[in-house]
Amino acid sequence: MVYTKDVIHGIVEKQNNFFRSGKTLDVNFRRRMLIKLKNAVMKYKDVLVQALSSDLGRSDVEAYMCDIGTLVLELNETLRGLRRWAKPEIHFSGLLCFPGLFTKVYKMPYGTVLIISPFNFPVLLSLGVLVAAISGGNTAVVKVSSKSVNCSKAVADLISETFTPDYVTVIQGGHDVADMCLAQRFDKIFYTGSPEIAKHIMTEAAKNLTPVALELGGETGNWCIIRKDANLKDAARKVAFFKLCNSGQICININQVAVAEEVADEFVGLLKSEFEKQIGKNAVENPEYPKLISAQAYDKCKKEAELYRDRIVYGGFGSEEKCKYAPSIIYPVNIDEPIVNHELFNPLLPVVTFRDCDVESLLDTVSRREKPLALYVFSKNRRWADRVMRSMQYGGGCINEVCYHMMVRGVPFNGVGHSGIGAYHGKWGFAEFTHPSTVLRGSSHLNLPLRYHPYGNSGIKFKLIKFFEK
């Protein structure tokens, strides 16, 4: 389909009309739509797995674990909790509002929303956000990535078979199509991607004062800090697993590791062993190892690796034909070098060293940079680790673990500052796609005359008002 401004405007108008019909206000309707979506995901499971393999070289296990299975968990959690989340809150209004004794807070949908999804998790980060939008009672336009061609087509086919386009529709295309979408007046925009594009989206959204939710990677990347008292073998195993996942193309992935210099050599040795144990001596030849999304991404990764060729102690090679670059350890790296001052989004892994007694100085440096989407610390000193996680600014994270915080049900997934605005998953996604409306029910009987003129400066009205407003 060829998209023009008029075509997209027509899609949005039809969705606005559908929303104004009031059908989406019914919680039972939303639940039926979520069940339809779940059934469609299971029906298209094999198609989605194949698409993830074609676009990103994902193995069947990784494709299901990271995109499809996680999406099913999100659907199940939302189906279980939706009635409870959508129920209006009832509050006592206070004596000053008498005879209006009770006030309700309704959780109202925004209306027609725009979801712009990325290439790295093209199923989860399009349909997973859609789950939240549907649960909130919205209609939705989903702009899928032009980079993950096969996944975008599969998602589009799934949605067109499941929903009418005046309720949910998928739009495919490049940045020009995305800009045509942004030119429309949506009621909410949800974007997952880079901070740079997010600035453009906020600029366009501001023209209509459209509220936005942003899930970003952070400009200076996610840190993993390993103290000298950490279980180094356990840390190496988990860091290696995570860096291999999707070939590093994950917004919460480890951008750089900071290791206490007292144990840095030992940790790097263990990390090498773990990479070989998990993916083999030549990751590029292993069919389980994912590829980079495009030739451009491969070239960018290779070019940056060449800048640090003399310090690559593991990996440092790839296959342009297969669009795969091996997991590569760059060691040692100074904390002020360019490679640790921007998001990598590839399998390069710089290792920064610090004296363990100077860990607070390291934390101070990290805190002065843009706020990351994720923070990971490895240490047996739980008091220190807890203090760090309570005092630093970041989206989410783990102590002695990586990435699994986003798999926990009932908790938010979100960033802060340059790593995002807003939150979703489960009830947090429902809240992100609804706004609270406060309604007091008054009465035409027994109204207190306190609010009506004349007041007087020291009369009984003023005394009663001061009493009620304590």
Q: What is the mean pLDDT of residues 163-184?
A: 97
Q: Which helix (H) or strand (E) holds 465?
A: helix 460-468
> Per DSSP, what are the bridge partners of residue 318?
325
**Does residue 215 carry a catalytic annotation?**
yes
Tell me which of 251-265, 311-325, 436-450 is least confident: 436-450
- State mean pLDDT over 302-312: 98
- Span 256-285, pLDDT tens digits: 999 999 999 999 999 999 999 999 999 999
Segment 60-78, tens digit of pLDDT: 999 999 999 999 999 999 9
What CA–CA distance (Å, rounded) separates 123 from 51? 10
- The neighbour count for residue 79, using CB atoms within 10 Å, is 16
Q: DSSP code of 66? A: I
- Average pLDDT value for the chain: 95
Q: What value does the CA radius of gyration of the chain take, rounded to a whole number of Å?
A: 26
Q: Residue 458: pLDDT band by 50, 70, 90 thresholds?
A: low
Residue 457 pLDDT: 67
Check 66, 224, 245, 251 and give the catalytic one.
251
At 97 the pLDDT is 76
Decide: 214 and 421 in contact? Cβ < 8 Å: yes
What is the per-residue pLDDT across 140-155, written as a single tens digit (0 to 9) for each? 999 999 999 999 999 9
Q: For residue 460, name the pLDDT band (cuts at 50, 70, 90).
A: confident
Query: How is residue 234 written in tokens?
Result: 């356990």
Q: Please give the share of the chain, as a percent, with pLDDT higher than 70.
A: 99
Q: Among candidates 173, 178, 180, which has minimal Cα distance to 192?
A: 178
Higher pLDDT, 460 or 424: 424
Phi then psi for residue 318, to 5 deg, are -165, -175
Q: Is the pLDDT of residue 235 over 90?
A: yes
Return the minimum-mean-pLDDT range out of 10-14, 180-184, 219-223, 360-364.
219-223
pLDDT higher at 452 or 160: 160
- Given a contact cutoff of 8 angstroms between Cβ atoms, the answer to whether 144 and 117 are in contact is yes
* Residue from 215, 219, 274, 304 carrying the catalytic annotation: 215
What's the start-to-end Cα distance of the chain, in Å? 63
CA angle, residues 91, 94, 100, in degrees to nearest 5: 80
pLDDT at 470 over 90: no
| Alpha carbon distances (Å) from 197 to 116, 138, 144, 296, 396 | 11, 24, 15, 18, 22
Question: Is 70 exceeded by the pLDDT of residue 139?
Answer: yes
Render pLDDT for 343-360 as a digit per residue (tens, 0 to 9). Answer: 999 999 999 999 999 999
Q: How do residues 81-115 score in pLDDT, each as one tens digit?
A: 999 999 999 999 877 777 888 999 999 999 999 99
**422: alpha, beta or left? (left if phi > 0; alpha if psi -120 to 50):** left
Local structure of residue 313 (DSSP, 8 states): E
Nearest in space to 82 (alpha carbons), one of 15, 146, 35: 35
Per-residue tokens: 105: 């807070």
CA 384 vs CA 239, 263, 324, 394, 442: distances in Å: 21, 18, 39, 17, 53
Does residue 357 carry a catalytic annotation? no
Is pLDDT at 134 greater than 90 in this prediction?
Answer: yes
Exposure string for 34-67, b = 16+ CB within 10 A, e = fewer: beebbebbeebeebbbbbbbebbbbbeebbbebb
Neighbours of 438 (CB within 10 A): 10
Q: What percent of the chain has pLDDT over 90?
A: 90
Average pLDDT over residues 225-252: 97
